[in-house]
Structure 1
């Protein structure tokens, strides 16, 4: 179905408001000619009639002179609405409800109805209804007049007319848009074909170059092993670095071996049992994806594993696993990149041995210095002056601080060397946390920080080393006090569940940038906020605390918002025997109370 030509011209090619206003001007001119040559059609109330003419004239001048293209399109709808009001006044002045010129209203109705959108149908009908009721609204006609129904029936007809016009205008726009699209497509098809031919040739050249580049990179990576596998773990690519590290060639492994063949079997079985004992990591290749997913969830995408050389030598590696994606975005396998840690571990071992040796060498003279300082301070025959005592206190304080640092260095060296002794026993955490809070209270008072403890009434029992657990609590509380300004607060809480006990230290201090949270437990790392605020410390406290918690098979957590505060948590597992003991005791108490 084709739309009428006049509607196409009205909605197509973005006609200006002046062009759309011409039918209304022409209609008014014909009405004036009719009044001039037909006396019976004259004005009954010239004031209203000339007001209507003036309004239409002003709207017409505005349609031609104002810069409508620089205004929002919806503003142009003010023109037909104003014109319609002008026709309403003109109708009032030429006979009111019985005027011969009521039909002029349909001209701006056409303009409004041809706008894009169904809502303009209602706008046209409602505005026509209001205009046709103007003789009654202005008091020029009686509401009891039978002609009042005409003011409601005619807008209903206009509503139907506007709906038809709106639909025809919409179809006309679609046809114009379709023709424009076809013209543009025809204009670009030839150019596109020529461009595709040139691009295809260039793409083939780039593809050959890219393949050669990727092959060069693949062959050049010799420091790390790169092994690509499919979804069953079967090797599909083996780079020279893997050949150099593991002693197997690509021909020996691709399509013949699985990645698990080159990982220490004992370590693989042990770690797999930690997160999914139902998977056989050595022989169950059909569940390789489940194995990788569980391993990445338990150890992360980058963890330390042990490779096996062709001669049986065990090689510690930092192994990362990443999904291998095809052109459709589907996972078709994994890429394992391994970095040999043998040399790095030897360097760390030498470094820790050096730190341990230096720490031992420093500890002896420091102990001697502190002993002699104490003798000087306690000398009874020649008492020191207050000024001398103040100097002596400074020396003792700094010597103790240095001794504490040496102790931290020794402890860190023990952790790295795997010589971290724990004297395990049944520990009541509430007592340890309370003691740590009391130890930190003097520092809190000096700093003007409110230190509070929230402890349960019932004892919370875990299996652990009380000295080390107290050290962990002291470290967290000391950190919180150092990083909380005067007037702030530090809250230490202890909660328990059936499986674990959780110690939380929450402060309202300066917080930690989100980008630095993952590095908090690295030795000697200090946050930017600590350095910016010149907070004392060397960056060992959190790494020591993490080592203590890990040795107790616990987990450390941290959450922080910069300039709002930080919360550290220590989650310690509760021994199964203690858990069952609590349950049995609870049951016995229930039985006794029932009896």
Structure 2
């Protein structure tokens, strides 16, 4: 490294004025050693010489002892200026203009010139002139001496030297600032990298833990079969529950078999035909996903299917199909969760047989009781008192209620046994809905509920059993009236489209918790709101209504907000003849009447 570069580096990197003062002190010490040790080198005027030394010493003491970190930086320039004057006096005392130690002046000039700002170049030059002219200013030399030119020529050289140093110092500062910024950025990036490494290690640990946890759960599920497939229905994962239920190992299925291989072929054909008669799922595995359109749309499909065991036996299962999502949110397959219904069906069969038996046993005595109550009421020879008539009315009302309950139990038993009779005919839905609304009006008036009907002007025709459809409407209206408080409203509407007719029963009642909606159509199910409000019922109405709608190839829906109300809908398919009439734009009323 060059001399000026070394000096600049020392000045720039010194953290305190004391360290910046060291070169001047070192130069003064060398000068004193030369005076003491070199023959012929001595002080010509000790008074000025020692005065200069004292000034430099005082400046050095101030540089080291004063709290410069708390003093504005601009004040530190006083130290090299003072030192410069001290060297000027020392030069006066060691020969004046001819002194050997005039070069010491350059040391504080370096300090001054390397300060930030162009003004310090002028300060360095002016103070150098002043220091070099001290022998003439103090009268120690004659102005006519030819050496006087040194007091002007040397500062001119120092001016050039100071300008170079100032520029080098400025560039050095910029470089140091850039390097410092890069170092800070590097340190920041290094810290971020270290943090990311720690986060990555933690994430990997959590991922391994999560994978182990998921694997443990996967291996622990043995009561249900869990089968994951790709978009074509090919098996990609096969859990121990599927192995136990179907009798195939993971090696025999994953990547080799399709989900349709384990479903009863006849049922698959029948179910597929309901969606699209052109689909042949037995010959084309790709088409099976058409049967789970609900899962494609992003919500689970839940239906009863029949699995076929490896030994050929059939297994009834409740099969839930849900989409399998990758990290980008794309559907990459489906997950099928199957619950064996064999034992549940056996239990339900025994329960249905018991219910049917009890219902038959109860219907006869109940009919007899109602008959005798009617005979007592109609007794003309000994008329009953008003109080007795009131008692009799209570007995009749409760007997009729029991008889209605027995009828519902018998009906549900018929549904479960597959002996659900329908007397199909062309039905005008508007008449059935209007009659159901009129039947419910007395109950609405007793409960203080506004019951309204919104019916279209034209006829809405479907193919169905009028008695059962009327029963379904009665059940929904009765339900809505029971769960709607005084001052509320129940609106029954009928609308139609090209393919279906929709009956909607909307109330402003207590609503149903979202978590309980899936169980609404289960036999004997009662919502928590019904239990809290002590609403009478045994939980058969909705299951019966659902069975009636399903038997008519319809769809039943429900939407509810707790404490705001509930809407039940019945969507029934319209006869093919009516659809054609709509398509060709003919006289719909005439077409319907000819059906």
Cα distance in structure 2, aligned partners of 1:535 and 1:346: 32
- State how 1:52-201 maps to structure 2 within 5 Å: 182=185, 185=188, 188=191, 192=195, 195=198, 199=201
Match of 1:506 in 2: 506
1:295 Cα deviation after fit: 6.2
1:395 Cα deviation after fit: 0.7
- State how 1:324-363 maps to structure 2 within 5 Å: 324-325=324-325, 331-363=331-363
For structure 2, list consecutive stretches of 5 or more residues without a partner in the other structure: 1-176, 591-595
Match of 1:562 in 2: 562
> Which deviates more, 329-338 or 362-371?
329-338
Q: Secondary structure at the match of 1:370?
A: helix
Q: Aligned-pair RMSD on alpha carbons? A: 3.6
Task: Give the TM-score of the pair, scaled to structure 2.
Answer: 0.62
Number of residue pairs the alignment of both structures matches: 414
- State how 1:478-557 maps to structure 2 within 5 Å: 478-557=478-557
After superposition, the Cα gap between the structure-2 partners of 1:177 and 1:314, relative to the gap in structure 1 and judged at 3 Å, is farther
- State how 1:354-373 maps to structure 2 within 5 Å: 354-373=354-373
Check conservation: 2:295, 2:323, Cα contact below 8 A. no
- State how 1:240-279 maps to structure 2 within 5 Å: 240-279=240-279
1:443 aligns with 2:433: no
Deviations 1:414-455 (A, max 9, x none): 112221111111112222222222222222222233333333
For structure 1, list consecutive stretches of 5 or more residues without a partner in the other structure: 1-173, 591-595
After superposition, the Cα gap between the structure-2 partners of 1:185 and 1:570, relative to the gap in structure 1 and judged at 3 Å, is same
Q: Secondary structure at the match of 1:523?
A: coil
Cα distance in structure 1, aligned partners of 2:187 and 2:258: 56
Check conservation: 2:549, 2:556, Cα contact below 8 A. yes
Check conservation: 2:227, 2:238, Cα contact below 8 A. yes
Match of 1:221 in 2: 221
1:361 Cα deviation after fit: 1.1
1:399 Cα deviation after fit: 0.9
After superposition, the Cα gap between the structure-2 partners of 1:341 and 1:372, relative to the gap in structure 1 and judged at 3 Å, is same
Match of 1:31 in 2: none
1:386 Cα deviation after fit: 0.6
Cα distance in structure 2, aligned partners of 1:589 and 1:187: 81
Deviations 1:35-58 (A, max 9, x none): xxxxxxxxxxxxxxxxxxxxxxxx
1:357 Cα deviation after fit: 1.1
1:377 Cα deviation after fit: 1.2
Check conservation: 1:272, 1:295, Cα contact below 8 A. no
Task: Give the TM-score of the pair, scaled to structure 1.
Answer: 0.62
Q: Secondary structure at the match of 1:476?
A: helix
Which entry has the higher C-alpha Rg, 1 or 2?
A: 2
Check conservation: 2:260, 2:288, Cα contact below 8 A. no
1:229 Cα deviation after fit: 3.0
Cα distance in structure 1, aligned partners of 2:483 and 2:518: 18
Check conservation: 1:508, 1:566, Cα contact below 8 A. yes
> Which deviates more, 466-475 or 174-183?
174-183
Q: Secondary structure at the match of 1:241?
A: helix
Match of 1:301 in 2: 301
> Which deviates more, 325-334 or 361-370?
325-334
Match of 1:382 in 2: 382
Q: Secondary structure at the match of 1:509?
A: coil
Q: Secondary structure at the match of 1:281?
A: coil
